[in-house]
Chain A
Amino acid sequence: MGNILDYSLADFHYNDNPDVLSPPEEFEEWINNDKIKRSFSFFEQQLLAAPKAETEILSNIDNKKRRVINLTSYNYLGLSSHPEVIKAVKEGVEKYGMGASGAPLLSGTFDLHTKFARMLAEFKQKEDCILYSSGLGGNYGAIQGILRKGDVFILDEKCHKSLVDGGTLSGAKMLFFKHNDINSLEMMLEKSKGKRTLVAVEGVYSMDGDLAKLPEIVEVCEQYNAKIYIDEAHSTLMFGKNGRGVAEHFNVEDKIGVSFGTLSKSFGGVGGFVCSNASLIRYLKCYSSPFNFSCAIAPPIVAGLIKALEIATRDSSLRDKLWENTNYFKKQLLSMNLNLGDTESQVIPIIIGSDGEKLFQMAAEVQKRGLFLQPVDFPAVPANARRFRISVSSQLTKDMIDEACNIIEDVIVKGLKE
């Protein structure tokens, strides 16, 4: 191994160690290097309080408890700790206990699950909905349930791992098109002519915060009679006049075959859901492994999720506040000449470039100054576009955003000039 810092997780996925229970040769040497260990110390830092806009963490950098402005949690609308949600969860746990004690198929479907699935289907304006106990399980369960060997699954290259894993499990042929590139998509559609074809895109892409070019994607997919699956994990309850997502934002909801969302981000709970036509949902309930073989979402969580959906849709106040915060934050960051990529959403990257060591030095410094702002390194993002990623929350106050910007200016803007 030459310079150990030139290596990354991308170099150790492939494993040809003759001992199947051992990682690749040189992995131990790499992961135990002091500088590599420091970069890993940003993972699994403990939160000591609710993931609100201001919270407390136990820092892995210096092992100190620290109050922080939270720019990392996906609690976009603050619903995980909304008083009405907490009350609903408490009532749920009193009535139903902690867990579902079964998979949805046999004994894990409670009245709450049926009610919530109906509410979600109506919200997304689809015929029916299936719930999953995790977002990842929802994506791969739906894809694995829909596609078969001989089918073609075309994905934007920036789609989430859960979609890729679903495709692998299904046995379908997978083709990837360049991010949001309609010509590249058309090239893949051309290759799949005559086969059952599903195209997967995301409403908001989670590392860049840009949106799928849905109007153009819909048009080209219609030409080839391919169906569209949209992952609205980072857009449900936030985009569109009624918060239904990016498909509503672009007014193409009736062109979307399957709409997926998570229950862990704007909803503030945990789980995933898939909305589509009633016959497909019926079919998925027979063949989607995470629905049949994994325990249902805990009933108290479903009670909280029902309340979260009610709160987020009874008026637009939460998402209005989110966009007010996002626009203000973005304006301040742009005034510092930071590179925010192509963000169009509440996910705002601060792209710092190719210097991984500098990224982690700055990450440690911003945390010591009181910001919970996580670095994102290669191979999660391109090696020349390492970054910080801000998740804006409706809970942030103007003072918190101003303080966050002061820290970003002192550490990141100055650091980039050095």
Chain B
Amino acid sequence: MTKEEIIEVIKKHIVENLDDIDENEIEPQKALSDYGANSLDIIEIVSSSMRELKIKIPRVELTDIKNIDELADKFLQYMNK
């Protein structure tokens, strides 16, 4: 799976979990919090994305991640493990 495909998966789960967000307005360089997500929203988005991608990453390893692009990089790193 490519990084672009991973970003599409994350985008899909952002749209499913947050109100009034259009997939086209999501920019990978932005943080989930820029779209008004709280910590529980982020847990849902990240968990459901990981489930779809069949990976499991401890949340503590994601705390320094600043935006969607970096999240996709982390996912890709685990998928290639």
Q: Report which A residues bind B (CB closer than 8 A).
A: 1-3, 6-8, 10-11, 13-14, 16, 155, 157, 164, 173-176, 178, 187-188, 191, 378-379, 382-384
Contact = CB atoms under 8 A, between A and B. Distances in A.
Contact of B59 (A11, A16, A173): A11
Contact of A173 (B19, B38, B43): B19
Contacts of B43: 10, 13-14
Nearest to A6: B58
Nearest to A14: B47
Given A13-B43, A14-B47, A6 B60 contact: yes
A14 B44 contact: yes
A173 B63 contact: no
A167 to B, nearest CB: 9
Contacts of B63: 378, 382-384
Interface of B: 19-20, 33-34, 36-40, 43-44, 47-48, 51, 56, 58-61, 63-64
A7 B44 contact: no
* A interface: dominant SS: loop
B39 A8 contact: no
A157 B38 contact: yes
Contacts of A3: 58
A7 B81 CA distance: 19
Given A8-B58, A8-B60, A173-B19, A164 B47 contact: no
Contacts of B36: 174-176, 188, 191
A261 to B, nearest CB: 23
Given A14-B44, A157-B38, 15 more contacts: A3-B58, A8-B58, A10-B43, A11-B59, A13-B43, A14-B43, A14-B51, A157-B39, A174-B36, A174-B38, A175-B36, A176-B36, A378-B60, A378-B63, A379-B59
Nearest to A173: B19
Nearest to A149: B19
Contact of A164 (B38, B44, B61): B38
A313 B36 CA distance: 40
A56 B20 CA distance: 52
Contacts of B47: 13-14, 16
